Every structure is written in structure tokens, then in C-alpha cells.
Structure 1
Amino acid sequence: MEFSFSKTPLMPFGNIAAIGLSSAITNKLDFGSEDFNFNGADYIGVPTLTSLAFNYKGEKIDFPECIITVNQEKNIVTTPMEGRDGTIKEYISDGDYTIAMEAAVCSYIINQNGETDYKTSHAYPKEQLEKLIRFLKIKDALDVQSDFLTLYGIKNVVVKSYGMVQETHSNRQAFNIQMLSDTPYEIKINQDVAINK
């Protein structure tokens, strides 16, 4: 089965329909051809099925399947003028990308014999959830690895908010995360030394 970008199938995820990025990219596309014109702007505001991994100081947590929606903010200065309705808008620059992620942790496991471990697979995913929450509480930027976010040059994010979603499965916990893109920068201080003679 082959897909093209113009006819990418919708992938169901709960009540959300998302475009499958990985299936579209991995189907014999020539990235160097003139016909290939895919870019991140095509997917702004579109829920997209992809993968993502958080990294922080050697620790890693991986989500093979999640839905990510990316939007672009703008930095605009508004100035009210006396005697005039509305404001004067001055476009300053592109702002941060806002990133919404929806995924789940699950305790379902298959043992070495290819059989389901019933006891473990039906337990609440407490350990996986605790590890996720430790990452979400980090008061620093997190490194992210995601083919989808790479389209926008996003390699670091800051978690803005997160929440859990009630489900009917005892072995699965869905969640959503709101993030902002983060660009590391260095501040260089140029100190002029005055020499008094």
C-alpha cells in the first residue's frame, strides 16, 4: 500500500483523527526530486501521528506513537493612539512554536515466549507514569527527538502544562502536554576596560 502527501490517510487515535507522518515519509519518496515540496508549514495546526523522545542529562523516555500539533506564535507590539479606535500593530518577529502532544503510557507486555504476561499487562502503569511526571516536573528545557519536530528545527522544549485523561482501561493512562519550543542561546558580555593613567 503506497501513500502520497495529497492522499495521506487519516489515522484514528481515540476521538482524534491525525495524519500519519511516518507512513507518508517512508514510502519511496525522493527527497531530492523537484516534485518533493513537503515542508513544516504544510502541517502547521494539523494533528500528526509521529514519535517523540524526551532526553535530559542521560535520562530518556520514548513514545513510539503520539499525536503532535504545532502552531506558530508571532511577536507583535500593539500601541493605542489617542482619538483612534483599535491599536497600531508593529510586527516584531516570529515567536515560539506551541506544541500540543497527546499520548499514553501502558503496562501491556509480551514475554519472551511471545505470550502476554496477564498480571503485568492488566496492572495500572504506575512506574511509567511516575517516570513521565519526573520529566514533566524538570525546571529546565528538555531535549526532544522527533522527525516531525525536526521539520521546524525544534530540538528543545519547555513544558508549559500537562494533564491526565480519564480512560476505561485499567492498564493505560492517556495524557496531554503543552510545550513551547526553546532555542538555546549564549549571552556574551563585552566589557570595555578603562585604563586610567
Structure 2
Amino acid sequence: MKALPNNYAGKIDQTTYQDAALYQSSLGTPVLTDLTFESVAYDLNSTQRIIVPSVKLTTVLLAVSLPKNIVATAIQGRDGTVKEYIGKGDYQISINGIITGQNGHYPADDVIALKRMVDAPVPIRVTSTYLQHLDIYDVVIVDFNTAQEPGGYSQQIFTINAISDTPVELQISNV
């Protein structure tokens, strides 16, 4: 049997263009995207100011969704509904990650630092190429989940759910 000719031969670019790694992880693997929660400060009460240092997460996977605000109105005598686009909602961001420690050592300091950031009752500035491509610069953490993993003493898995935030600057005028 004679082979059929390949109509795509020589027409598909075979050049490989790879993004450069940002740096090497503690495991020696290339880090192509990371996430940093920038330092925040807030008042706990009238006498105590809390400052939380930045937290850099190198082993994360991000998932982002964007709901739209749509009002669907039923009209008598008409099948279906009339949809009215109101605007975009907040981005919903799921951050799944692992904090790793040295072999045989639980990464307690890093876990505590992440917990302090998660506890902050304020919007948090984030630095992540992936999120910046979507115009996400500030987030509000909605919930935090973590669990122990069999055989995973030297690491801590976690999931953070957050929503995007756009700072609003109010202008006060003297009337």
C-alpha cells in the first residue's frame, strides 16, 4: 500500500518557543508562574496595628471564572425569558497550592505566615503574571481550606477561594 501524501508537510512551524522560567524552586524545578500576597497593614482595634509581611507561593495552580450579572424576566405569553445584561461580576479565583518544607520537617513558619495573610480582614494586593493578564491586582479572601495528607508531613496542601476587588477612591468635596 502506498502512503498518502502529507498536505501539511513543511507548512507547520516546528520552532519551539518556550517561556523562560522565573527561577528554580527549592526542588530544582522551573517555576513558570507564582503568586505573591503583598504585605498588608490594618487596625485590629483603636490601639493595635497589625502588619502582615508578604507571602510568596511558588507551587500554585490558579483557576479563574467571571460570572456576568444578568436579569432574566419572564413575560406572560412568551416562551423563555428576556435577558438584560447588567454588567460583569467579580472574578472568582481558586488558588490550589502546596507549601513545601525540607525533607522530614513540617513548614510551620510558612503555614503560619499564610494563615496570618488569610486572616487579614482587608483586600490584599497580589502579584502574579497570570492574574495580571486578567487585570486582577487586588483580592478579598473568601475562604481557606487545608488538610493533612497521608505521607505528606513535609508539605501542606491548601485551597484559597477569593474574589477580585477594585479599589474605590472617594472624593470628598466641600460644598
Same fold (TM over 0.5): yes
Alignment of 1:58-97 (within 5 A): 59-84=53-78, 86-97=80-91
* Other-structure match for 1:116: none
Between the aligned partners of 2:115 and 2:154, the Cα distance in structure 1 is 17
Structure 2, gaps ≥5 residues long: 1-14, 22-31, 42-50
- For this pair of structures, how many residues does the alignment match? 139
Instruction: Compare the two structures and name the one with the higher helix fraction.
Output: 1
1:53 maps to 36
Q: Residue 158 of structure 2: SS of its match in structure 1?
A: strand
| Residue of structure 1 in register with 2:28 after alignment | none
Give, in angstroms, the shift of residue 180 of structure 1: 0.8
- Within 5 A, what are the aligned runs for 1:1-197? 3-4=16-17, 24-26=18-20, 50-55=33-38, 56-57=40-41, 59-84=53-78, 86-108=80-102, 121-167=103-149, 168-188=151-171, 193=175
Q: Check the 8 A contact 2:59/2:99 in 1, yes or no.
A: no
Tell me the CA shift for residue 83 of structure 1. Answer: 4.8
State the alpha-carbon separation in 1 of the partners of residues 82 and 173 from structure 2: 35
TM-score, normalised with respect to structure 2:
0.69
Q: How many Å separate the matches in 2 of 1:176 and 1:85?
A: 42
Superposition RMSD on alpha carbons, in Å?
2.3
Residues 34-83 of structure 1 show CA distances to partners (whole Å, capped at 9, x for unaligned) of xxxxxxxxxxxxxxx62000012471110123111111121212333345
Which structure would you say has the larger Rg? 2
> For structure 1, which runs of at least 5 residues remain unmatched after alignment?
5-23, 28-48, 109-120
Structure 2: distance between partners of 1:78 and 1:67: 34
Deviation of 1:147 after TM superposition, in Å, equals: 1.0
Q: Alignment identity in percent?
A: 32
RCO higher in 1 or 2 (8 Å CA, sep ≥ 6)?
2
Normalising by the residue count of structure 1, what TM-score does the alignment of the two structures yield? Answer: 0.62
2:37–2:125 CA contact under 8 A, matched in 1:
yes
Counterpart of 2:101 in structure 1: which amino acid?
A: S
How many angstroms apart in 2 are the aligned matches of 1:95 and 1:178? Answer: 15
